[in-house]
Structure 1
Amino acid sequence: MIPAMDLRLLHSSPCFSAVRFPSPTPLCRRLFIVRSSLPFPNEKAKYHKELEAAAEVVVRACRLCVDVQRSLFSDEGRIIEKNDQTPVTVADFGVQALVSLELSKLFPSIPLVAEEDSGFLRSNNLVDPVVSAISDKTSFDEESLSHADVLEAIDRGGKNYFGFGTKPATYWILDPIDGTRGFVKGSQALYVVGLSLVVEGEIMLGVMGCPNWVVDTSYKSTTDVQGYKNSSPGLGIIMVAHVGCGTWTKRLKDILDSSTKISSDWTRCLVDGCCLVPKARFCIPESQTWESLPLSILYEARTDDDDIGDKEIRLLPTCCGSLCKYLMVASGRASVFILRARSQTVIKAWDHAVGVICVHEAGGKVTATLHL
């Protein structure tokens, strides 16, 4: 089992799986107000102020992603490739800047660990588009928001977080966009904005926003998963979790509609209760095949919905990054997420931290198993 650990890094292991086991006043902005009350009493959640702030800023980050994605293919220079051959966009930098700016304003003593730094932004002349993307999403005065402010905000959560000196007792972990490969393919792909809070090595809360999530509780079969590609985007969900308080979801569309009262429409999430392998729904990274996993020795994978035999498993064709798979498991739409990493692979905290707390609070468990 991977404990809620020192999440400065989740060190690599060959197998990473998720399986079942038993307020501040909302900030007023120029364009919209996020009405985000928690689904449980504040007194039950020690970090309710932090969770409310995290939920609010993730909602605004999702709005930023939707806006950028609409113009992604009409503007040159918005998609670039990093040194590790992964894509990055204005939205990645914009979300990191937005979250850094807002959280540092509300909780100035809590540092941020995040994926991006401003070096790529500077060398690819993307500062202007990023400032433009976040200008109407922040609580800061647009005219006073300088390039230097945005670059500093991004670097505040840059990759070199060992520069803290003494390891901080409390810190945020952000993945601006988990699933950028899908994000750049079009508005119907799934991707996740993920934010979590670590205190004394324990993950205390997490928020995931998925703007293109299709809100349909009956969505569990392989056919339904494939149906994502033909569904209307933009319905979306936000998922929140707090230690001891469970995992909950709400429709993003409702949150962003300021004319809608949404005080009691949270839905409690529970992981899939399936106990039989042939009845379970598995998901794995797009970069891996079922044949590369140890379980393939015992079970063959099927992607159709016909009767699954005793020596077969049902494999869901989900897309995009790891956080999307965690979201699938935490919501009960997938039973198991398996990730096999090479022994020398460094697994980044931002790819997993928020998924760990959401799955755990939904009744599941995250484990690391060493296979020699």
Structure 2
Amino acid sequence: MDLLLLRSSPGFSAVRFFPRYPSPPPLRRRLFIVRLNLPFPNEKAKYHRELEAAVVVVERACRLCVDVQKSLFSDEGQIVEKKDQTPVTVADFGVQALVSLELSKLFPSIPLVAEEDSGFLRSNNLVDPVVRAVSDKIDEESLSHDDVLKAIDRGGKNAFAMGTKPATYWILDPIDGTRGFVRGSPALYVVGLSLVVEGEIVLGVMGCPNWVVDTSYKSTTDAQGYKNSSPGMGIIMVAHVGCGTWTKRLKSILDSSTKISSEWTRCFVDDWCLVSDARFCIPESQTWESLPLSVLYNARIDDDDVGDKEIRLLSAFCGSLCKYLMVASGRASVFILRARSEKVIWAWDHAVGMICVHEAGGKVTDWKGSELDLAADQVERRSICPAGGILVTNGNIHNQILEMISSISTVI
């Protein structure tokens, strides 16, 4: 895939972007060619160049993840623990370095908000394997330790301060669902990248290497079909404001000899209109009994045969973005998460999922019905503070669930 780069402008448009208003000035004067077909005409997508670049880098990041995962279980030195006890792998830092390096070359004026910083990497003697992993996927003759560490820190907490005004920046979750990554196939994990322009999410790309595409999906139990899947699986999901949400098979990242279709398929949320018919997802760290709807419904896990006052609950997938992907693709109807005072809700765990669900016809709010505020922390754009929790639905049953939550006044 060839990139042709010319010079870029140092500045950025200060026009707040809304789809229904006249288009803002171009994000930059940089010209580059990405030989990639998007599922919609370029003239309909204001940020098609940014989306094309995001697709390319997320595909490369998925390849990096697959390669590192293959060696993960034969090299224990590449699995470590963060202070919050979340497993972190070389792939986690490698993806952030790869994405940061590529985007900084193409869009140097756009900051990056991402999960990791190099402090942990430096202190755990993991720089060498990260440099090797990134060097294999990037068009550079040689990468130094300093190149990779600086790239990681470009997305770190202290890289910049945006202030209180609407800002423009990339949001990256290098691996959402690192527990799933460490478990290996068939557990799901997602590489998630989105672009925010003057406070509004305008595009998003999610890559899920272990996802099995099954267009014949009918029931909740079929959603677990990835457990018996074969190499060559995986999808990439893209969304652009006003252009819908689409998926296609990832390139043959597991087996280069496998031929797969490169056709895009448009995604829509499911059309269930009753809460009792819906398929629910919840965080792996939470139980159904900890959520307000448990007062009204019991949960049956991965079972279509539900009775009165029961709902269908899909097995927990690692990470939040897998749940957004489930809702946006119509595999699930609802993802509900309860906010807890002791746990920060990070923007990168939700931003790309929000636009994918929205463009697929769904809805995302907090438990009071307000849109999620990406500028809640006002300076770093790293955390969000939803009232009560986050509710992601197909849109049809959103207000029904909000009313149920509101009726149980003690939960908010």
TM-score band by shorter chain is 0.7 to 0.9
Cα deviation for residue 286 of structure 1 reads 1.1
Corresponding residue number in structure 1 for 2:105: 105
Q: What secondary structure sits across from 1:157 in the alignment?
A: coil
- One-letter amino acid matched to 2:311: I
**Matched-pair contact (CA < 8 Å) for 2:63–2:253:** no
Corresponding residue number in structure 1 for 2:33: 25
For structure 2, list consecutive stretches of 5 or more residues without a partner in the other structure.
Answer: 1-15, 17-30, 368-387, 389-410
Corresponding residue number in structure 1 for 2:95: 95
**Matched-pair contact (CA < 8 Å) for 1:188–1:232:** no
- One-letter amino acid matched to 2:33: T
Corresponding residue number in structure 2 for 1:199: 197
Judged with a 3 Å threshold, the aligned counterparts in structure 2 of structure 1 residues 155 and 167 are, in CA distance, closer, same or farther, namely farther
Judged with a 3 Å threshold, the aligned counterparts in structure 2 of structure 1 residues 123 and 73 are, in CA distance, closer, same or farther, namely same
Q: What secondary structure sits across from 2:93 in the alignment?
A: helix
Corresponding residue number in structure 2 for 1:322: 320
- Which deviations, in whole Å up to 9, do the C-alpha atoms of 1:230-259 show, x marking residues without a partner? 222541000000000000000003589699
- One-letter amino acid matched to 2:75: D
Corresponding residue number in structure 2 for 1:56: 56
Structure 2 Cα separation of the partners of residues 93 and 168 of structure 1: 28
Corresponding residue number in structure 2 for 1:224: 222
- One-letter amino acid matched to 2:335: F
**TM-score using structure 1 length:** 0.86
Structure 1 Cα separation of the partners of residues 104 and 45 of structure 2: 21
Structure 1 Cα separation of the partners of residues 234 and 257 of structure 2: 16
Aligned residue among 276, 281, 284 for 1:283: 281
Structure 2 Cα separation of the partners of residues 61 and 168 of structure 1: 29
Structure 2 Cα separation of the partners of residues 203 and 195 of structure 1: 11
Corresponding residue number in structure 2 for 1:75: 75
- Which deviations, in whole Å up to 9, do the C-alpha atoms of 1:210-239 show, x marking residues without a partner? 000001122352322333222225410000
Judged with a 3 Å threshold, the aligned counterparts in structure 2 of structure 1 residues 254 and 89 are, in CA distance, closer, same or farther, namely closer
Corresponding residue number in structure 2 for 1:186: 184
Judged with a 3 Å threshold, the aligned counterparts in structure 2 of structure 1 residues 80 and 254 are, in CA distance, closer, same or farther, namely closer
Within a 5 Å distance, the mapping from 1:164-183 to structure 2 comes to 164=162, 169-183=167-181
Cα deviation for residue 25 of structure 1 reads 2.5
Judged with a 3 Å threshold, the aligned counterparts in structure 2 of structure 1 residues 166 and 282 are, in CA distance, closer, same or farther, namely closer
**Matched-pair contact (CA < 8 Å) for 1:59–1:252:** yes
Q: What secondary structure sits across from 1:51 in the alignment?
A: helix
**Matched-pair contact (CA < 8 Å) for 1:170–1:200:** yes
Q: What secondary structure sits across from 1:268 in the alignment?
A: strand
Corresponding residue number in structure 2 for 1:3: none
Cα deviation for residue 188 of structure 1 reads 1.6
**Matched-pair contact (CA < 8 Å) for 2:302–2:315:** no
- One-letter amino acid matched to 2:197: V
- One-letter amino acid matched to 1:239: M
**Matched-pair contact (CA < 8 Å) for 2:251–2:260:** no
If asked which structure has higher relative contact order (CA below 8 Å, sep 6+), I would say 1
Corresponding residue number in structure 1 for 2:363: 365
Structure 2 Cα separation of the partners of residues 262 and 227 of structure 1: 20
Structure 2 Cα separation of the partners of residues 246 and 356 of structure 1: 12
Structure 2 Cα separation of the partners of residues 166 and 93 of structure 1: 29
Structure 1 Cα separation of the partners of residues 221 and 227 of structure 2: 11
**TM-score using structure 2 length:** 0.78
Within a 5 Å distance, the mapping from 1:322-361 to structure 2 comes to 322-361=320-359
Q: What secondary structure sits across from 2:239 in the alignment?
A: strand
Structure 2 Cα separation of the partners of residues 304 and 238 of structure 1: 25
Cα deviation for residue 169 of structure 1 reads 2.6
**Matched-pair contact (CA < 8 Å) for 2:176–2:320:** yes
- Which deviations, in whole Å up to 9, do the C-alpha atoms of 1:89-124 show, x marking residues without a partner? 100000000000000000010010000000111111
**Matched-pair contact (CA < 8 Å) for 2:58–2:205:** yes
Within a 5 Å distance, the mapping from 1:249-328 to structure 2 comes to 249-253=247-251, 265-328=263-326
- Which deviations, in whole Å up to 9, do the C-alpha atoms of 1:112-171 show, x marking residues without a partner? 000000011111111110011011211222x2x111000000000013355456867310
**Matched-pair contact (CA < 8 Å) for 2:111–2:170:** yes
Judged with a 3 Å threshold, the aligned counterparts in structure 2 of structure 1 residues 123 and 297 are, in CA distance, closer, same or farther, namely same
RMSD across aligned positions (CA): 2.2
- One-letter amino acid matched to 1:356: M
Structure 1 Cα separation of the partners of residues 232 and 80 of structure 2: 24
Cα deviation for residue 332 of structure 1 reads 0.4
Structure 1 Cα separation of the partners of residues 163 and 241 of structure 2: 28
Corresponding residue number in structure 1 for 2:243: 245
